[in-house]
Amino acid sequence: MASISSSPRSVEEIFKDYSARRVGILRALTDDVDEFYNLCDPEKENLCLYGHPNETWEVNLPAEEVPPELPEPALGINFARDGMNRRDWLSLVAVHSDCWLLSVAFYFGARLNRNERKRLFSLINEVPTVFEVVTERKPIKDKPSADSGSKSRGSSIKRSSDGQVKSTPKLEDESYQEDEEEHGETLCGSCGGNYSADEFWIGCDICEKWYHGKCVKITPAKAESIKQYKCPSCTLKRSRQ
């Protein structure tokens, strides 16, 4: 384990350390997976998966000193090994390993300034996570949320009767196509333009008409703070009553 005196200090050094540790962990969870699996005997004590700066990996007991010199990986990864599907278990270890890699990187980066921390995160964010590699997933945009049953897919926003904002992240290209088909006949209540999944739309909670955000001067950020949206027409009608 690296000593504090030899800790990486610059953004480049910290990212190099992160990358090397990541390579070691990936090797344990892919190329050397059978060996790794056998070492994680549930009958043994709390075990951790370490990735080292020389691109090697190790399954070992946690450090004895408290607090440890570096953040510790997840304890007891071996205990769950036989209680779940092997692939699921490896995915679980991968997720915890990603957390550990980030914690070590930003432990070393604690003295970096704001811009340096942003640059370090950008470098880390450019490479797939251990979880993505182990589960053979490529980095993709967020999946639809549980609220995707709402009329508000793509970058549009709609509110439920309890005032909760229901928004769904943009999806992949196929979903854009589905979105276009689903709302192809939806027209903006202001300009009459057709629905487009790559534009921000907002639905009126009174008349349930849809509007381009730009037509009614509502941004996604502003929409988040509105409990019940009334379009210009409904607002005008109410003011006349």
Listed range (7-21, 74-88, 170-184) with the worst mean pLDDT: 170-184
CATH number of 186-240: 3.30.40.10
Rounded percentage of the chain residues whose pLDDT exceeds 90: 49
Residue 149 confidence (pLDDT) above 70: no
Tens-digit pLDDT profile for residues 195-232: 777 778 888 888 888 888 888 888 888 888 888 888 88
In this prediction the pTM is 0.56
Q: What is the DSSP string of the chain?
A: ---GGG---SHHHHHHHHHHHHHHHHHHHTTTHHHHHHH--TTSS--EEEE-TTS-EEEEPPPSSSS-SSPPPPTTTTTTGGGS-HHHHHHHHHHHHHHHHHHHHHHHGGGS-HHHHHHHHHHHHTSPPHHHHHTTPPP-PPPP-GGGGSS--TT-EEE-TT--EEE-----HHHHHHHHHHTTT-BBTTT-PBP-TTS-EEE-TTT--EEETTTTT--HHHHHT-SS---HHHHHHHHH-
What is the structure's pLDDT at 3? 39
Tens-digit pLDDT profile for residues 38-77: 999 999 999 999 999 999 999 999 988 888 889 999 999 9
- Considering the chain, what is the average pLDDT of its residues? 80
